[in-house]
Amino acid sequence: MKVSVKVPATSANLGPGFDCLGLALPIYNTITIEETVLPGTGVEINLISEKENIDDIIFDNVPKDENSIIYKAVEMLYNSIGQEPSELKINVQSQIPITRGLGSSASVVVGGLLAANKLLGSPADTTALLSIATEVEGHPDNVAPAILGGFVLSSQEDDGSILTEKLIWPDEWDITVCIPEFELSTNISRSVLPENVPMSDAVYNAKHLAMLIQAVNTKNVKLMKNALKDKLHQPYREKLIPGMKEIIEAFRHEDGIIGTVLSGAGPSMLVISHKYDLDKIKSTVRDIWESLSIKSDIRTLKIEDKGAEIVEE
Ligand code: HSE
């Protein structure tokens, strides 16, 4: 038996929502898992770059054996029902660029879990799958929208349970996703964050996240413009991302630009706008990166409302 799952890309954080906000985007990975009949063949993982507008995705440094994140997730699901994974053939057809802050690892974790769950006769419900995916990823902000679609607030509570709440993104707010050609691993991007932050910075983010939720719920552009600020991660990551500061600065005083934020752990960035010339956003960002000899892929995308879905059995 063979099961394929299509999973959207995701963008986490949205400025002040560090580790708890994320939205799904219409770029997809398709994960196929097949139980092979030949015993002793172990796990076989194939990663295939599906060229879209993005350059070929290079998987040279991605583990393709039992050490891969997708296998770990699948193994945890099997173990949760007292089983060991059988001989598995896993294919990932990938459109989501890796190590760019677009949830590629969350997508393979979610796709692997949903496919394996189907192969096992669906013993785990969405809550259980979210829980395993969060354990593998370390935080729920990418896996929640990858599973549920849309714009999601998520939290791993003290008892380990995962709370999710879907929010409605105002349709008239455009999201331009700016993807530079260079990679930045989440591990490196998290390694520059301090273990402790000043109380004033924690309060700063709490109030801006509260503003953000209210702004989205009431489609309040002015409030959202004020809300998209962060002191917990972006200032520390800026030094890892050439052009980030200049891109934020270029749009800071533009009417119609709601805000510019890092996508997840970066290096991709989101420019959120309302009734603004989208070509101008693209050329501004492209020019800044080009002046630093960095190629980029920039697209305005709608939020993907559908989460991961089984496309073939
Ligand atoms: N919230 C995470 C971070 C997303 O910013 O590190 C990346 O997995």
Residue in the structure block whose two tokens are 């000043």: 198
CB 77 within 8 A of CB 117: yes
Q: Is 121 helix (H, G, I), strand (E, B) or coil?
A: coil
State whether the beta carbon of 190 lies less than 6 angstroms from ligand 1. yes
State whether the beta carbon of 100 lies less than 6 angstroms from ligand 1. no
DSSP for 255-277, written as a single string: TTEEEEEE-TTSS-EEEEEES--
The pLDDT value given to residue 246: 97
Q: Residue 194 sits in a domain of what CATH number?
A: 3.30.70.890
Which amino acid is present at 71? Y
CB 24 within 8 A of CB 307: yes
Q: Which atom of ligand 1 is nearest to the CA of 137?
A: 8
Residues 23 and 161 in one domain: yes
User: Ligand 1: distance of its center to the CA of 13 in Å?
Assistant: 7
- pTM for the model stands at 0.94
Domain count, the chain: 2
Residues 129 and 180 in one domain: no
User: Ligand 1: distance of its center to the CA of 295 in Å?
Assistant: 23
The pLDDT value given to residue 38: 63
DSSP for 184-207, written as a single string: --HHHHHHTS-SS--HHHHHHHHH
Residues 118 and 239 in one domain: no
**What does each of the 313 residues of the chain score in pLDDT, given as a tens digit?**
899 999 999 999 999 999 999 999 999 999 999 987 666 666 777 777 776 545 566 666 667 677 788 989 999 999 999 988 878 888 999 999 999 999 999 999 999 999 999 999 999 999 999 999 999 999 999 999 999 999 999 999 999 999 999 999 999 999 999 999 999 999 999 999 999 999 999 999 999 999 999 999 999 999 999 999 999 999 999 999 999 999 999 999 999 999 999 999 999 999 999 999 999 999 999 999 999 999 999 999 999 999 999 997 6
Q: DSSP E strands: which ranges in the chain?
A: 2-13, 17-35, 43-49, 88-94, 151-156, 162-167, 173-180, 257-262, 269-274, 296-301, 309-312
State whether the beta carbon of 139 lies less than 6 angstroms from ligand 1. yes
> Cα–chain-centroid distance for residue 37?
34
Q: Which atom of ligand 1 is nearest to the CA of 19?
A: 1
| Structural domain that includes position 68 | 2-168+303-312
Residues 289 and 187 in one domain: yes
Residues 67 and 40 in one domain: yes
Reading the block at residue 209, the tokens are 């996240």
**What contacts 174, CB < 8 A, 6 or more positions away?**
272, 273, 274, 276, 278, 300
The pLDDT value given to residue 47: 78
